[in-house]
């Protein structure tokens, strides 16, 4: 009974994990750039969703879920800006340039979230380009979307938590769509070709700059989607995602296989299941032995290491990795 | 005059690899570029297609300067490059590889693919097969086919014979001659000097980044210096 409930919890939470990971997976799979700013983009989107629910929802009675498309669009746009400003010049010269660039992006976004973009003027006053986006000014304690949190629907005798259910539904819809885009459309194939051999892609007449911009901005937009959903399930601080989510996301995308979109989905679901199953075991069995409550996470990383030793390219690894 | 290269010099970093190279190509001719490994043949082709940035000199395609243009735009203007070692997209099948050679909006995509199949019938049988699983000769056919999908007027071939059995190389060479019949000009950089001289009208012989000899292939093939250095025939 609890077993089935744990499976349900695990799958739904896994859906959220997959959604949180797919953006990073796309960018890394295509351009071999590890977008360290992924977490910051997620948190920014989360705060935008929170602000939406605080400011717009009471006024216009629009469901905060409708902030998600905005999250995607804003983060995708930021992705394009970040690409031109930071990455474009450095990307063909090894991985250090883009890595530092995305790290800088991460720091910058997190700073703007908690402190805004306020420029002091010589005259003593200051001009506010952007106020702090975090309504609690970095304290995080009250930064949670009150809508949907804590709600659940009943499926027979089992509870389905609504935020996780929504994340799961979005993940199940979006990720296969992304897979179809990559395998069946010209731009999708061009992106894959650029990932496999960018020089050969150039010789074939593919505009690899456009392919990279497209994949980077879609990856950033997807980070926005994941971040928006994150606001429904957690309290968050400005650097929250970097600390708690980014390690799991990294494990998920490597576990599922670099370059495989469906692999990321599977990796997310598996990790969700591992954590919920081990939470179940911890609750039932190990509370007697005061096992740490993060046992699920530990187990995840151990399984991740085991898979890496057996199949380093991940479960569905492709693109020659 | 489909291609005019004038006084081209190029470097890899600080090392100069092309020194004042000049050549011309007319429509519907096969021109070969022969010379030892490291003579600069590949670099010259890569300079034409825009992958290597020349330091000085000019390149004109159909009368317009093209130096500094990005490779994908040159493909769109009618130059195609078949790289050394094929460089197919390994997990995509034959048809997908071919498709990517054509522009995004392509009204006669199916016709172009059929033309490649009629040139290389075996590719039609293998059209759903992953490119990485094909034999060397078949991969070379796909690479050429992919380059043809953009309807080029100038085809640059880099070391066609590389990794191919003599039989396969012959099959590919006869396809190249058929391509020339449809009024595509061909510049082929080739280690196999003998065959290159036999199938081309004109040739340029490169050594150490410079053009040392040029002329009609039929004359060069009889030149004793060429025969000694490149055809392994001592006189």
Given pLDDT bands bounded at 50, 70 and 90, which one contains residue A15? very high
End-to-end CA gap in chain B: 37
Mean pLDDT, residues B205-229 taken together: 87
pLDDT above 50 for A319? no
Output phi, psi for B139, to 5 deg.
Answer: -60, -40
Q: Is residue A196 in some structural domain?
A: yes
B155: nearest CA partner in chain A: A203
For A87, other C-beta atoms within 10 Å of its C-beta total: 23
Q: Is residue A181 in some structural domain?
A: yes
* Closest by Cβ to A199, choosing from B75, B87, B99: B87
A117 touches chain B (CB under 8 A): no
B52: nearest CA partner in chain A: A199
pLDDT at A56: 77
A318: nearest CA partner in chain B: B91
Over residues B35-63, the pLDDT tens digits come to 988 889 999 999 999 988 899 999 999 99
Over residues B5-21, the pLDDT tens digits come to 999 999 888 889 999 99
The angle subtended at Cα B158 by Cα B150 and Cα A191, nearest 5°, is: 50
Q: Quick check: B72 and A186 CB within 8 A?
A: no
B96 touches chain A (CB under 8 A): yes
Over residues A283-313, the pLDDT tens digits come to 666 666 666 666 677 777 888 788 778 877 7
* Closest by Cβ to B90, choosing from A196, A202, A206: A196
Q: Is residue A320 in some structural domain?
A: no
Over residues A78-95, the pLDDT tens digits come to 999 988 887 766 666 666
Structural domain boundaries, residue A141: 2-310
Q: Quick check: A320 and B90 CB within 8 A?
A: yes
pLDDT at A136: 61
Q: Answer whether A247's CB lies under 8 Å from A54's CB.
A: no
Q: Quick check: A204 and B146 CB within 8 A?
A: yes
A192 touches chain B (CB under 8 A): yes
Residues with Cβ within 8 Å of residue B14, at least 6 apart in sequence: none
Strand boundaries in A138-281, DSSP class E: 152-155, 158-161
* Closest by Cβ to A206, choosing from B81, B91, B100: B100
What is the nearest CA distance from A313 to chain B, expressed in angstroms?
15
pLDDT at A258: 79
- Single out the residue of B17, B49, B29 nearest to residue B203, CA to CA: B29
Lowest mean pLDDT among A121-125, A136-140, B134-138: A136-140
Beta pairing partners, A158: A155
B86: nearest CA partner in chain A: A200
Over residues A210-260, the pLDDT tens digits come to 999 999 999 999 999 999 888 887 666 666 666 778 888 888 888 888 778
B130 touches chain A (CB under 8 A): no
B9-39 in b/e burial notation, b at 16+ Cβ within 10 A?
bbbeeeeebbbebebbbeeebbbbbbbeeeb
Q: Is the ipTM of this complex over 0.85?
A: yes
Distance between CA B38 and CA A119 in Å, rounded?
57
What is the nearest CA distance from A27 to chain B, expressed in angstroms?
19
* Closest by Cβ to A205, choosing from B51, B83, B101: B101
Residues with Cβ within 8 Å of residue B10, at least 6 apart in sequence: B16, B17, B18, B43, B44, B47, B52, B53, B54, B55
Over residues A146-156, the pLDDT tens digits come to 667 677 888 78
DSSP B120: S
Contacts of A200 in chain B (CB under 8 A): 83, 87-89
Contacts of A320 in chain B (CB under 8 A): 90
Give the CATH number for residue A155: 1.10.3470
Given pLDDT bands bounded at 50, 70 and 90, which one contains residue B221? confident
Q: Which three-class secondary structure string do you get for B12-49?
A: ECCEEEEEEEEEEECCCCEEEEEECCCCCHHHHHHHHH
Over residues B141-172, the pLDDT tens digits come to 999 999 999 999 999 999 999 888 899 899 99
Over residues B180-213, the pLDDT tens digits come to 888 899 999 998 888 999 999 999 999 999 999 9
The pLDDT mean for chain B works out to 91
pLDDT above 90 for A169? yes
Q: Quick check: A204 and B100 CB within 8 A?
A: yes
Residues with Cβ within 8 Å of residue A193, at least 6 apart in sequence: A200, A201, A204, A206, A211, B89, B92, B100
pTM value is 0.85
Q: Quick check: B89 and A187 CB within 8 A?
A: no
What is the nearest CA distance from B14 to chain A, expressed in angstroms?
17
What is the nearest CA distance from A135 to chain B, expressed in angstroms?
46
Distance between CA A287 and CA A294 in Å, rounded?
12
Contacts of B75 in chain A (CB under 8 A): 203-205
Domain spanning B3-87+152-230: CATH superfamily: P-loop containing nucleotide triphosphate hydrolases (3.40.50.300)
**Residue, of A208 and A137, whose pLDDT is higher:** A208
Q: Quick check: B71 and A318 CB within 8 A?
A: no
pLDDT at A144: 55
Contacts of B76 in chain A (CB under 8 A): 205
pLDDT at A143: 46
Q: Is residue A321 in some structural domain?
A: no
pLDDT at A321: 31
A185 touches chain B (CB under 8 A): no
A317: nearest CA partner in chain B: B91
A190 touches chain B (CB under 8 A): yes
Over residues B90-113, the pLDDT tens digits come to 989 999 999 999 998 889 999 999
Beta pairing partners, B24: B4
The pLDDT mean for chain A works out to 82
pLDDT above 80 for A317? no
Contacts of B72 in chain A (CB under 8 A): 202, 205-208
Q: Most B CBs within 10 Å: which of A30, A189, A203, A320, as the mutation test of the B interface?
A: A203
Over residues A181-198, the pLDDT tens digits come to 998 999 999 999 998 888
Beta pairing partners, B157: B82, B188
Distance between CA A181 and CA A190 in Å, rounded?
11
**Residue, of B200 and A321, whose pLDDT is higher:** B200
pLDDT-above-90 percentage for chain A: 27
**Six token digits for residue B18:** 């092309």
Mean pLDDT, residues A58-79 taken together: 87
Q: Quick check: B96 and A189 CB within 8 A?
A: yes
What is the nearest CA distance from B230 to chain A, expressed in angstroms?
30
What is the nearest CA distance from B181 to chain A, expressed in angstroms?
23
For A123, other C-beta atoms within 10 Å of its C-beta total: 6
Q: Quick check: B100 and A190 CB within 8 A?
A: yes
Q: Quick check: B88 and A200 CB within 8 A?
A: yes
Over residues A254-272, the pLDDT tens digits come to 888 877 889 999 999 998 9
Q: Quick check: A203 and B81 CB within 8 A?
A: yes
**Residue, of B108 and A110, whose pLDDT is higher:** B108
Structural domains counted in chain A = 1
Contacts of B81 in chain A (CB under 8 A): 203
pLDDT above 60 for A137? no
- Single out the residue of B171, B186, B176, B182 nearest to residue B135, CA to CA: B171
Given pLDDT bands bounded at 50, 70 and 90, which one contains residue A142? very low
pLDDT at A286: 62
User: A208-233 vs A67-82: helix axis angle to the nearest 10?
Assistant: 140
B72 touches chain A (CB under 8 A): yes
3-class secondary structure, B232: coil
Q: Is residue A24 in some structural domain?
A: yes
């Amino acid at each position: 009974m609890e077993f089935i409930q744990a499976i349900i919890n695990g799958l739904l939470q896994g859906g959220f994990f997959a959604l949180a990971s797919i953006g990073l997976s796309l960018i890394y799979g295509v351009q071999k750039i590890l977008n360290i700013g992924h977490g910051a983009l997620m948190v920014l989107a989360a705060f935008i969703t929170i602000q939406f629910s605080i400011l717009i929802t009471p006024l216009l009675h629009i469901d905060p879920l409708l902030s998600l498309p905005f999250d995607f669009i804003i983060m995708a746009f930021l992705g394009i800006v970040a690409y031109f400003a930071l990455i474009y010049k450095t990307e063909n010269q090894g991985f250090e340039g883009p890595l530092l660039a995305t790290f800088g992006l991460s720091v910058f976004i997190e700073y703007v979230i908690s402190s805004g973009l306020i420029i002091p003027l010589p005259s003593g006053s200051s001009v506010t380009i952007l106020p702090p986006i975090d309504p609690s000014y970095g304290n995080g304690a009250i930064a949670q979307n009150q809508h949907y949190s804590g709600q659940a629907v009943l499926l027979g005798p089992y509870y389905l938590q609504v935020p996780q259910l929504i994340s799961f539904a979005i993940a199940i819809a979006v990720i296969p769509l992304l897979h179809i885009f990559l395998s069946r459309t010209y731009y999708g194939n061009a992106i894959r070709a650029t990932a496999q051999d960018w020089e050969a892609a150039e010789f074939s007449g593919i505009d690899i700059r456009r392919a990279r911009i497209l994949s980077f901005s879609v990856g950033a937009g997807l980070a926005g989607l994941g971040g928006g959903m994150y606001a429904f399930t957690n309290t968050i601080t400005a650097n929250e995602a970097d600390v708690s989510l980014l390690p799991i996301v990294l494990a998920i995308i490597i576990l599922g296989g670099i370059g495989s979109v469906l692999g990321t989905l599977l990796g997310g679901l598996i990790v969700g299941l591992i954590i919920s199953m081990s939470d179940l075991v911890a609750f039932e069995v190990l509370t007697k032995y005061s096992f740490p409550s993060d046992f699920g996470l530990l187990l995840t990383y151990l399984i991740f290491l085991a898979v890496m030793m057996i199949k380093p390219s991940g479960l569905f690894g492709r693109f020659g990795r | 005059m489909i291609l005019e290269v004038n006084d081209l010099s190029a470097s890899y970093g600080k090392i100069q690899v092309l020194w004042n190279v000049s050549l011309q190509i007319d429509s519907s001719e096969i021109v070969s570029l022969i010379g030892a490994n490291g003579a600069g043949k590949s670099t010259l082709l890569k300079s034409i297609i825009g992958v290597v940035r020349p330091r000085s000199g000019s390149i004109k395609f159909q009368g317009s300067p093209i130096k500094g243009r990005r490779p994908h735009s040159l493909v769109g203007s009618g130059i195609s490059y078949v790289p050394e070692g094929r460089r197919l997209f390994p997990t995509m099948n034959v048809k997908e590889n071919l498709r990517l050679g054509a522009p995004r909006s392509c009204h006669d995509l199916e016709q172009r693919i059929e033309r490649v199949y009629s040139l290389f019938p075996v590719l039609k049988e293998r059209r759903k097969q992953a490119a990485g699983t094909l034999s060397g000769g078949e991969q070379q056919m796909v690479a050429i086919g992919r380059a043809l999908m953009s309807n080029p007027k100038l085809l640059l071939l880099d070391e066609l014979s590389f990794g191919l059995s003599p039989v396969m190389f012959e099959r590919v060479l006869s396809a190249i001659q058929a391509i020339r019949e449809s009024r595509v000009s061909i510049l082929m950089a080739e280690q196999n000097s003998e065959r290159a001289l036999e199938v081309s009208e004109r040739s340029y012989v490169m050594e150490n980044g410079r053009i040392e000899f040029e002329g009609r292939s039929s004359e060069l093939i009889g030149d004793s210096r060429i025969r000694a250095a490149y055809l392994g025939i001592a006189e």
